Amino acid sequence: MPLTSLEEVLIEQLKDLYSAETQIVKALPKLAKTASSPELKIALENHLEETRGHVERLDQAMELLGASGRAKKCKGMEGLLEEGKETLDEKGEAAPAALDAAMIADCQRVEHYEIAAYGTVCTYAKQLGHREVLDLMKETLGEEKKADEKLSDISRSVNLEAAEAPDRKPDKPGRRTRTARS
Residue 60 resides in a domain: yes
Residue 66 resides in a domain: yes
pLDDT tens sequence across 2-55: 789 999 999 999 999 999 999 999 999 999 999 999 999 999 999 999 999 999
Q: Which residues contact 137 (CB under 8 A, 6 or more apart)?
A: 57, 61, 118, 121, 122, 125
* Three-state SS annotation for 62-93: HHHCCCCCCCCCCHHHHHHHHHHHHHHCCCCC
| Residue range(s) defining the domain that contains residue 97 | 6-163
Residue 169 resides in a domain: no
Question: DSSP letter string over 29-49?
Answer: HHHHHH--SHHHHHHHHHHHH
Give the chain's mean pLDDT. 89
Residue 172 resides in a domain: no
pLDDT tens sequence across 121-178: 999 999 999 999 999 999 999 999 999 999 999 999 999 999 987 665 544 444 444 4
Residue 1 resides in a domain: no
Number of domains in the chain: 1
pLDDT tens sequence across 92-135: 677 899 999 999 999 999 999 999 999 999 999 999 999 999 99
Residue 168 resides in a domain: no
Q: Which residues contact 140 (CB under 8 A, 6 or more apart)?
A: 53, 54, 57, 58, 118
The domain that holds 72 is classified in CATH as 1.20.1260.10
Residue 13 resides in a domain: yes
Provide the residue type at 5 as one letter.
S
Distances (CA, A) of 176 to 95, 146, 164, 169, 182: 20, 38, 12, 9, 9
